[in-house]
Chain A
Amino acid sequence: MQLFFQHLINALQWGSFYALIALGYSMVYGILMLFNFAHGDIFMVGAYIGFGVATALAALAALSALALPNWLILVLTILIAMYLTSFVGMLVERIGYRPLREAPRASAAITGLMIGIILETGNLAILGAQRIRFPSLIKTQVYDIGGVVVTNKKIMIVVVSLVLMLALNEFIKRTRWGMAMRAMAFDYVVIPLMGVPLNTIASLTFALGSALAAAAGILFAVAYPVLDPYIGITYGWKAFVAAILGGRGSVKGACLAGFLLGFIEIFVGAYLSSSLRDLIAYSIILLILVFRPHGFFGEPHSAKLRL
């Protein structure tokens, strides 16, 4: 039983990465009806930007008399990296998606895929193939609760991601921008005619998704401090599966599916064999999709699809 709770904690942490990445996919898919195949690599870029910001801030704190506590550096890193990465997302939208607004949707997916490859290769070209150690900003403290080992990092990761998810949910439900996004998801042909600027909403969607991906990247780097340029392709595509499993454009669904994927992966790895992880995880997902073809909270498409 202790072991079970131990895995549960791990699964929560692992699932929150997937959930945060999946949100970006899900928003772009829900609002613009496009696959953003560059999103996994935006996650990777976010982690690297976080690495840069954290290193710079730590150096700054060491140089000047400014006594920045480490937790503040981490918070600042997350915020600054989220801000910077949102521009990467907007750039991706500007280059890869806006010129293709009238094109078949699949073509836009291909440009996204190609931008992802460029980001990945660019990273390899600039920083080389060696892995990078993320500076450890907070000391690991271990709490033992009835035999279940919980570290402060794990608590922080889960709490921060939950806060971000709730914030996104509130943003979409309560604000005018969020209302515009929901309207666009409902019908992207008529809503622009009613004065909602499609381009701005598209940029905003990409920016929000990328900011969340950057947060996921930094949290990932806090938990697993070794970064390599391929984290985008390994985790991004899996989160994409989770995003669609959650249902079109559903924040709730994407989070739930992300956590589900994390749970399956951790528990299969723990109780069966880690080499069977993908096999079982995706078989389960395939089965779910057979019975719920529109995902957890998705509805059938209202507008006619192009291509």
Chain B
Amino acid sequence: MLNDKAASAARANSRFGWLRAYAADVPLLAWLLGVLVAVLLEQAMGEVLTDLVGLPKIPVLFGCMIMLKEPTLIPSALVYVAMIYGVPIILLGKLLARPANWIAARMITWPIVIPVIVHLVLLYGIMHIWSDLSLYRMLTLRLTLIAIMLTLSLNLINGYMGEFSCSHPGFMALGAYTASAVMVLFFVNDRLFGEALLPEMLGPFMFPLALVLGGIVAALGALLIAIPSFKTRGDYLAIISLAFLFIVKSLFENLQFLGGARGIKGQPDYADLPTVFCWTVLCVWIINNFVRSTLGKALNAVRDDEMAAEAMTVNTRFTKMVAFLFAAFWAGIAGGLFAHTVRFINPGTFDLKRLAELLAMVYFGGLNSVYGSIVGAVSINMLGEMLRPLALYKWIVIPLLLILVMIYRPTGLVAFKEFDVRKLMQPKRKPKNEV
């Protein structure tokens, strides 16, 4: 009893301990409801509050851009963010904790599908309402979701498999070009491919097929790398994948029927928020299941000690190949979605800068972790957009941040953490002695 009290006191005294103690009994459901109310509040009162605190327009990304552009407006932007997001979320999360806990406790006894769908619907609702206010938010959100897919699939190779792959932009390019070519060929009157071959109403049905085809092409490309590079252990994947990236980029520059260096533009606008959201959820779900499966555990075993894994009947080469192709497949799909989101691609889109960005996301978030991939993709992407007013200096701030993360947490912020959906959704209670 005494020990428990001392422990809880120590927890409250530690860094952010008060926050942790405050949030200890608030389940995910309550947070989601709180955020939902916050975004609804912004929808309803955003304009009024903007006028009231004297901001030129509604802060798009939590006021960061306004603060950086005009330092005099920092107090008003802070007030706005606190009023719209801070206070409602913190208060409502606490207020709703009790009923939300009750509901969560009920739901968790039902088949797992039902609570998952409830949470996802809430999450989607939040995103939809939040991004409704400006096109810029919508674009940023979609690109962030796509970045989650890319980071997760790269983490599969660099984190779970423990190799160093540089070819992800190449896989992305393969997927993007395949999906774009199919969609533009069939559904768009285009200078490059001529008249549309199919009526436009079939487009939304063909789109997933085109994406999957892009994924398959990317996986086939990965096979080219996988066959030579998994013969031996070592750093040769890094170099072969880098050569592959150069080859893919150069190939697309030379394929004149795919637009050459000018690229393809005018992809139909099928990658809207619900589509991207669904694909991202699917990707997280499947990859999470993959890494928790026997094959995923075998992959970790191969990373930690290939010889021992081999002795324990793991077929190391097969395991590595499957994981690599799987990661490439998802990178291809993400590439297709990316092409249909920005609606313009050329070979220069998939260059070394993109590689650096992807690697930054993986290593910032954390190796060997689905949580980490999500954290890394969201934070680097959002940070990149928020620091946009800094222009050039953005590319000094973000690398510096990443160097600091690497020095103090060499495997990334949330490395080696299991992503357990059931645990995430379960009701939370305070430790007994505090009630």
Contact = CB atoms under 8 A, between A and B. Distances in A.
A293 B236 contact: yes
B289 interface: no
| Residue among A35, A108, A114, A278 with the highest chain B CB neighbour number at 10 A | A114
A204 B19 CA distance: 48
Contacts of A35: 164, 235, 238
Given A117-B356, A237-B242, A282-B250, A107 B392 contact: no
A190 interface: no
Contact of B158 (A106, A121, A124): A106
A278 B251 CA distance: 9
A110 B244 CA distance: 20
A293 B244 contact: no
A162 interface: no
A103 interface: yes
A300 B406 contact: no
Nearest to A287: B228
For chain B, what secondary structure do more than half of its interface residues adopt (helix, strand, loop), or is it mixed?
helix
Contacts of B356: 113-114, 117
A286 B170 CA distance: 15
Given A35-B238, A106-B164, A122-B396, A111 B246 contact: no
Q: Which size bracket describes the interface of A in this complex?
A: 35 or more
B250 A125 contact: no
A294 B236 CA distance: 8
| Residue among A100, A113, A237, A281 with the highest chain B CB neighbour number at 10 A | A113
B239 A110 contact: no
Contacts of B367: 104, 106
Contact of A96 (B164, B235, B393, B403): B403
Given A113-B356, A279-B254, A305-B234, A95 B403 contact: yes
B243 A114 contact: no
Contact of A278 (B238, B249, B353, B392): B249
A175 interface: no
Contacts of A245: 239
Nearest to B357: A117
Contact of B363 (A110, A120, A240, A275): A110
A282 B402 contact: no
B404 to A, nearest CB: 10
B253 interface: yes
B396 A118 contact: yes
Interface in B393-416: 393, 395-396, 399-400, 402-403, 406-407, 410-411
Contact of A277 (B240, B244, B250, B403): B250
B239 A241 contact: yes
Contact of A100 (B232, B243, B407): B407
Contacts of A59: none
Interface in B248-267: 249-251, 253-254
Contacts of A95: 403
A286 B162 contact: no
A244 B298 CA distance: 29
A227 interface: no
A290 B359 CA distance: 25
Contact of A286 (B244, B395, B402, B407): B244
Nearest to A291: B228
A233 interface: yes
Nearest to A244: B239
Interface string B348-379: 00001100100110010001000000000000
A44 B250 CA distance: 24
Contact of A110 (B234, B393, B402): B402
A146 interface: no
B348 to A, nearest CB: 12
A54 to B, nearest CB: 26
B250 A104 contact: no
A109 B164 contact: yes
Given A125-B393, A237-B242, 10 more contacts: A35-B238, A100-B410, A110-B402, A111-B403, A113-B356, A113-B360, A114-B402, A233-B353, A244-B238, A293-B228
23 contacts: A35-B235, A99-B407, A100-B410, A102-B410, A107-B406, A107-B410, A110-B402, A111-B403, A118-B400, A121-B393, A121-B399, A122-B396, A124-B392, A233-B353, A240-B239, A244-B235, A275-B254, A279-B251, A286-B228, A286-B243, A286-B244, A289-B228, A301-B233
- Per CB-CB distance, the 4 closest pairs between chain A and chain B, nearest first, are A103-B410, A114-B399, A278-B250, A279-B250
Interface of A: 29, 35, 95-96, 99-100, 102-104, 106-111, 113-115, 117-118, 120-122, 124-125, 233, 237-238, 240-241, 244-245, 275-279, 281-283, 285-286, 289-290, 293-294, 300-301, 305, 307
